[in-house]
Amino acid sequence: MRHICPAWPGSGVKAVRMKSKLGVTFAVAGAFAAGIVVGPMVGAVAQEGSRAETYRLLSLFGDVFGRVRAEYVETVRDRELVENALNGMLSGLDPHSSYLSPRNFEDMRVQTRGEFGGLGIEVTQEGGYIRVISPIDETPAARAGIRPGDMITHLNGNTTQGLTLQEAVEQMRGERGTSIRLTVRREGEARPLELAITRDVIRPQIVRFRMEGNDVGYIRVTSFNEQTETNLRRAVQALRNQAGTNLRSIILDLRNNPGGLLDQAVQVTDDLLDQGEIVSTRARRNEDAQRWNARSGDITGGIPLVVLINGGSASASEIVAGALQDHRRAIVMGTRSFGKGSVQTVIPLGAGNGAIRLTTARYYTPSGRSIQATGIEPDIEVKSSRQDNAQANAQRDRDREQDLRRALRNEGNNAAQAAPPPPPLNLPQALLDRIQRQPPEGFPALDPTKPETDFQLQQALILARSLGPAPQRRAQR
């Protein structure tokens, strides 16, 4: 089983309440008077009622299956019917649980290894359509101009309404060199956009790095697959070798990072912390709770960190940002993250039967915060573009976990249960005043190839250059 970062109660109470009010009162009173004897008897009755209800519902499923198989207008394969039923059962729980057909299961395994075929796009389902979480950098989708929040309404002219998420993803995948036409609705555009995209083998460069000037290192992590932590270590070492004692600080860019493997998020955070808790998970049963702690050793040598996030930063990237924020190991800058605070476990179903991706736990930052449906709030909010009115602001905030159908609730919404916020920033007010919270009038539109047009990055550089010691001057010869 593999944990990735994209239950129902028993019916015992219901079985007892089917009795008269007098019967319920008697059962409860009897339990207090003779709990050792009556308790197991009540439990046995409840368990028997629950089992009978389960058998009745399974019989109902068999009746419907047989009726469809015998009377549907066209012949339907048994496997197709069962797989559709499985997918409906799982996708009806929350936005991230699903059935993986054998082909989709293999595709997922290939993707987590760091190579897959298709468009290079992370998607979810909302309102029956396919919503883009984030395009992957330097892929066909990114080059075609796909943006987070785009709604894919048609594939090759056929509506995505009524397709399962897996069916839509399967249609977007294909052999290298083949094309697909996407119809996209984008907020602010009067008409749908028609985009023709040629598929390619997706080998995303998940960790990219460079020096900004001679004193600040920049590392962008685009997803968390099996190669992420290894590549992060290489990036940090290369920056330290390149800059030497001039390296003031490092900017870790997690914007539009949709997440991935939980163990990679833990390892990346462990690399940047010297001690303390990284993340904990709480499942349906208390005994299944887990906790991960950092081992001694910070691969940066304690160099100050600035973490960039936005509404496309989800799941594993939120684990990293939340842990570094709680320990005040980094200052988090940008806009509120996506808010996916649940863990999915991939459970294989045996040879030829695929797997299920099941939400099995919520995760919590070291201070005990659940970011499910709320996200990570940055220490310093910096917007990527001007937002001229409250309506535009509300629209941008809508493209998050909390707005997905059947999204899990946040169990910490009760003020009495809420975890304490991160420790306050210890920064001079003069420095905070230098950081602009949104681009000025006339600031150029973002061009990913030109860092000077990235307003959030430019503000992060102002902060980063104030955190570390001044670069050592080289001796003049």
Per-residue tokens: 410: 């946040």
Which member of 249, 271, 340, 384 is catalytic? 340
Whether residue 104 contacts residue 118, with contact meaning beta carbons closer than 8 Å, is answered with no
For residue 435, the 8-state DSSP code is: S
Reply yes or no on whether 450 is catalytic. no
Using the Cα atoms of residue 392, residue 393, residue 396 and residue 400 in order, give the sign of their dihedral. Answer: negative
Rounded CA-CA distance 238/472 in Å is 19
Whether residue 310 contacts residue 328, with contact meaning beta carbons closer than 8 Å, is answered with no
Q: Which helix or strand (DSSP H or E) is residue 251 part of?
A: strand 249-253
Contacts of 47 by beta carbon, 8 Å cutoff, 6+ apart:
10, 12
Kindly report the length of the chain: 477
Rounded CA-CA distance 53/8 in Å is 14
Reply yes or no on whether 326 is catalytic. yes
Q: Which helix or strand (DSSP H or E) is residue 292 part of?
A: strand 290-293
Q: Which helix or strand (DSSP H or E) is residue 30 part of?
A: helix 21-33
For residue 371, the 8-state DSSP code is: -
Which member of 97, 98, 315, 342 is catalytic? 315
Q: 274-301: buried (b, 16+ CB within 10 Å) or exposed (e) per residue?
A: eeebbbbbbbeeeeeeeebebeeebbbe
Which member of 94, 263, 326, 454 is catalytic? 326
43: left (phi over 0), alpha (psi -120 to 50) or beta: alpha
Reply yes or no on whether 383 is catalytic. no
Contacts of 212 by beta carbon, 8 Å cutoff, 6+ apart:
218, 251, 451, 461
Closest CA to 122 of 169, 155, 167: 169
Residues marked active site are found at 315, 326, 340
